[in-house]
Amino acid sequence: MVVLTIFGLIGAAVVGWLIVTMINQYTTKKFNYQIFDGGTLVLVTIAYALIYFGFDFYQSALKNGGDILNGQLMIAIGIVLIVLDIWINIKNTNFEEGVVLSIVQLLFYVVGAAAIAFLVVIAIGIAGGGRNGYYCDDDCY
Q: Where are the domains of the chain?
A: 36-124
pLDDT at 141 over 60: no
Q: How many CB atoms lie within 10 A of CB 2?
A: 6
Query: Residue 84: CB partners within 8 Å, gap ≥ 6?
Result: 43
Q: How far is CA 108 from CA 44, 62, 70, 81, 101, in A?
A: 10, 32, 28, 16, 10
| Integer Cα distance of 104 and 113 in angstroms | 14
pLDDT exceeds 80 at position 71: yes
Choice between 46 and 135, residue whose per-residue pLDDT is larger = 46
The pLDDT value recorded for residue 66 is 85
Task: State mean pLDDT over 49-73.
Answer: 92
Beta carbons within 10 angstroms of residue 11's beta carbon = 10
Pick 36 or 139 by higher pLDDT.
Answer: 36
Residue 120 is predicted with a pLDDT of 86
User: For 101-115, what is each residue's pLDDT tens digit?
Assistant: 999 999 999 988 888
Residues 111 and 17: their CA atoms lie apart, in Å, by 12
Structure confidence at residue 73 (pLDDT)? 96
Main-chain phi, psi angles of 36, to 5 degrees: -95, 110
